[in-house]
Amino acid sequence: MVVSDVAPGRLYLARTPVDGLARAHGGKDEFLAAVCHELRCPLAAIQNASRLLSSDVEPAARLKAQVLMERQIRRMTQLLGDLQDLSRISHGGLPLRRERLDLRSAVGNAIETLDSDIKARDHQLTAVLPDAPLWVYADPLRLEQVFVNLLSNASKYTDAGGELTVRAHRQDDLAVVRIRDSGIGIAPEALPFIFDLFRQADAGNPRSRSGLGIGLALVRDIVSLHGGRVTAASEGIGRGSEFAVQLPGEY
Ligand code: ADP
């Protein structure tokens, strides 16, 4: 098994957020084109669904259109939020509101947030959480964001009917969450760079998915701001992936 181990964060230095993000992406034009593409896709889906809603359709089709609109609006909101967070991090300022927190609740909330996506893709989700609280000193919303990003990737890069597993446990004085999927996997040569900003491992993979390549960079930065680390492992293309988040425990 190949593991990519990411040292706690070197954050992005930039003159302005857009300049820095654009440079990391290989040019302002490419960056703007990718952002436009990522916003245009959900917008088109919302437009279609809203046309359908204003016509005379069956209640079942209406409900389906509403669920689709909500999912696509969430996708756009998440993308804009991710971009804003990255620009904040590049200015050294992502404030954390830390508190003593049971990690099981952050994991549970993330699962709840993605429930409709997981059901829509017909994934089997298994959550194995301990009976006792897993205490950490962390920002609840930021940790939820980490698990939402990892779990939504697990779902996005796994074909319909695949399996997703979330395990949380204590390991010595660490609290650990593992998110595993039975999806497309990651090539060994891509693993060392998987957390880099704008890095997408799909280049040679015929089952590539869309995206901007910022989710994992944010995950790494947020985890490292909490004094933790995140690792990625995969047996290779077609053999699933596992992401593990380790945080200092509060015992
Ligand atoms: P995005 O998903 O928007 O491309 P991310 O930063 O979240 O951006 O992920 C970067 C890349 O890592 C993805 O493009 C994909 O190639 C790869 N990746 C992330 N999670 C998984 C996963 N669970 N299985 C396979 N590949 C993944």
Please tell me the predicted confidence (pLDDT) of residue 21. 60
The per-residue b/e assignment along 210-224, b for 16 or more CB within 10 angstroms, e otherwise, is ebbbbbbbbbbbbbb
Going by the DSSP 8-state scheme, the letter that residue 62 receives in this structure is: H
164 ligand 1 Cβ < 6 A: no
Ligand 1 midpoint to CA 248 (Å)? 25
Chain segment 126-160, per-residue pLDDT in tens: 999 999 999 999 999 999 999 999 999 999 999 99
Residue 237 has pLDDT above 80, yes or no: yes
Chain segment 32-85, per-residue pLDDT in tens: 888 888 898 889 999 999 999 998 889 999 999 998 899 899 889 988 988 888
Q: Are the C-beta atoms of 183 and 162 separated by less than 8 Å?
A: yes
Ligand 1 midpoint to CA 60 (Å)? 33
Residue of the CA atom closest to atom 21 of ligand 1: 153
pLDDT band at 27 (very low <50, low <70, confident <90, very high): low
Between these two residues, 191 and 202, which has the higher pLDDT value?
191
Report the chain's mean pLDDT, rounded to a whole number.
85
Between these two residues, 97 and 197, which has the higher pLDDT value?
97
Quick check: pTM over 0.75?
A: yes
Query: Of ligand 1's atoms, which has the minimum distance to the CA of residue 202?
Result: 16
Alpha helices (H) in 59-139, listed in sequence order: 59-90, 103-113, 115-120
Region 219-242: mean pLDDT is 95
Ligand 1 pocket test, candidate residues 76, 165, 200, most atoms within 8 A of CB: 200
184 ligand 1 Cβ < 6 A: yes
Ligand 1 pocket test, candidate residues 153, 179, 221, 243, most atoms within 8 A of CB: 153
Residue of the CA atom closest to atom 2 of ligand 1: 211
Please tell me the predicted confidence (pLDDT) of residue 107. 97
225 ligand 1 Cβ < 6 A: no
Query: Of ligand 1's atoms, which has the minimum distance to the CA of residue 200?
Result: 14
Tokens of 215: 């989710």
Question: Which amino acid belongs to residue 124?
Answer: Q
Residue 20 has pLDDT above 90, yes or no: no
Residue 204 has pLDDT above 60, yes or no: no
CA torsion 44-49-50-56 (nearest 10°) is: 140
Ligand 1 midpoint to CA 224 (Å)? 19
90 ligand 1 Cβ < 6 A: no
pLDDT band at 1 (very low <50, low <70, confident <90, very high): very low
Q: Point out which residues pair with 100 in neighbouring strands.
A: 137
152 ligand 1 Cβ < 6 A: no
Q: In what order do the strands lie in the sheet with 163-171?
A: 2-5, 229-234, 241-248, 174-181, 163-171, 124-128
Question: Which amino acid belongs to residue 248?
Answer: P
